[in-house]
Amino acid sequence: MNRYGNVNARPDGIVEILITQEAIERRIAEMGKEIASAYRDCLPLLVGVLKGCVVFMSDLVKRIDIPLEMDFISVMSYAGVQSPGGAARITKDLDTVIEGRDVLLVEGIVDTGMTAGYILRNLQARAPRSLRVCTLLDKEVRRIVSIPISFRGFKVPDRFVVGYGLDYRQLYRNLPCIGILSDEIIGLDRS
Amino acid sequence: MAVVTITSQPGCPGIELAARLAGRIGFSLVDKTTFAQLSGEIDLDEARLRKVDEAILKGDLHIDPETEACVRLLQDLIAQLAEERDLVIIDRSAQGLFRNRPGTLHVRLVAPRKFRVRQVRTREGLSGREAGRLVGALEKEHARYLRFLYRLNPADPDLYDLTLRMDRLSIDQALTLMATAVDGMDLLQVPRDRIVKDLLPQVPEKRDTGRFANTAETEFARFLRFYRIPFEYESRTFNLETDANGRIVEAFTPDFYLPEQDLYIELTTMKQSLVTRKNRKVRKLRRLYPEVNIRIFYQRDFHNLMAKYGLLGSPEKSHPGFGRDEEVKSKRK
Q: Where are the domains of chain B?
A: 3-196, 215-317
pLDDT of A1 over the 50 cut: no
Sort out which chain A residues have CB atoms less than 8 A from B228's CB and list them: 87-88, 118, 121
CA–CA gap between residue B207 and residue B235 (Å, rounded): 8
CA–CA gap between residue A119 and residue B142 (Å, rounded): 50
A12, A59, A102, A111: the active-site residue: A111
Which of B159, B145, B153, B152 has its CA nearest to residue B68? Answer: B145
Cα separations (Å) of B190 from B21, B28, B183? 18, 16, 11
Q: What angle do CA B248, B252, B257 make, to 5 degrees?
A: 135
pLDDT band per the 50, 70, 90 thresholds, residue B214:
confident
Sort out which chain A residues have CB atoms less than 8 A from B266's CB and list them: none
pLDDT band per the 50, 70, 90 thresholds, residue B202:
very low
Q: What is the model's pTM?
A: 0.56
User: Of B150 and B42, which is predicted with more confidence?
Assistant: B150
CA–CA gap between residue B227 and residue B218 (Å, rounded): 15
pLDDT the model gives residue B201: 35
* Residue contact A187–B309, C-beta within 8 A: no
Q: What would you measure as the largest C-alpha separation in chain B, in angstroms?
A: 66
pLDDT of B71 over the 80 cut: no
Cβ neighbours of residue B177 closer than 8 Å, sequence gap 6 or more: B162, B164, B169
Collapsing DSSP states into helix, strand and coil, what is residue B239? strand
Collapsing DSSP states into helix, strand and coil, what is residue B329? coil
Cα separations (Å) of B327 from A92, B39, B155, B212, B216? 35, 24, 20, 7, 11
Cα separations (Å) of B198 from B34, B89, B104, B195, B332? 25, 20, 12, 5, 12
Chain B contact probe: residue of A166, A180, A186, A190 with most B CBs at under 10 A: A186
Render pLDDT for B130-147 as a digit per residue (tens, 0 to 9): 889 888 888 887 887 788
Q: How many beta-carbon pairs under 8 angstroms link A with B?
A: 73
A117 touching chain B per CB within 8 A = yes
Which of B84, B68, B129, B95 has its CA nearest to residue B8? Answer: B95
Q: Are B105 and B192 in contact (CB under 8 A)?
A: no
pLDDT band per the 50, 70, 90 thresholds, residue A9:
low
A111 in active site = yes
CA–CA gap between residue A173 and residue A154 (Å, rounded): 18
pLDDT band per the 50, 70, 90 thresholds, residue B45:
low
pLDDT the model gives residue B68: 66
| Mean of pLDDT values over A8-23 | 82
* Residue contact A144–B312, C-beta within 8 A: no
Which of B226, B179, B186 has its CA nearest to residue B321? Answer: B226
> How near does any CA of chain B get to the CA of A25, in Å?
25
pLDDT of A144 over the 80 cut: yes
* Residue contact A187–B314, C-beta within 8 A: yes
pLDDT band per the 50, 70, 90 thresholds, residue B222:
confident
A188 touching chain B per CB within 8 A = yes
For chain A, the average pLDDT equals: 87
A142 touching chain B per CB within 8 A = yes
CA A51 to chain centre: 8
Sort out which chain A residues have CB atoms less than 8 A from B294's CB and list them: none
Which of B179, B148, B144 has its CA nearest to residue B26? Answer: B179
Nearest-CB residue to A169 (from B300, B304, B310)? B310
Lowest mean pLDDT among A3-17, A46-60, A115-129, B82-96: A3-17
Chain B contact probe: residue of A77, A78, A82 with most B CBs at under 10 A: A78
Closest-CA residue of B relative to A186 is B313
Q: Are B306 and B319 in contact (CB under 8 A)?
A: yes
pLDDT the model gives residue B108: 94
For β-strands A45-49 and A69-75, DSSP reports them as parallel
Beta bridge partners of B233: B256
What is the distance between the terminal CA atoms of chain A, rounded to a whole angstrom?
35
Provide ipTM, 2 decimals.
0.80
Give domain B215-317's CATH architecture. 3-Layer(aba) Sandwich (3.40)
Render pLDDT for A83-97 as a digit per residue (tens, 0 to 9): 656 678 888 999 999
* Residue contact B227–A145, C-beta within 8 A: yes
Q: Which of B30-39, B102-111, B226-235 has the highest mean pLDDT?
A: B102-111
CATH level 3 topology of B3-196? Rossmann fold (3.40.50)
Tell me the CB-side half-sphere exposure of residue B264, using CA atoms within 13 A.
19
Which of B43, B65, B11, B91 has its CA nearest to residue B270? Answer: B65
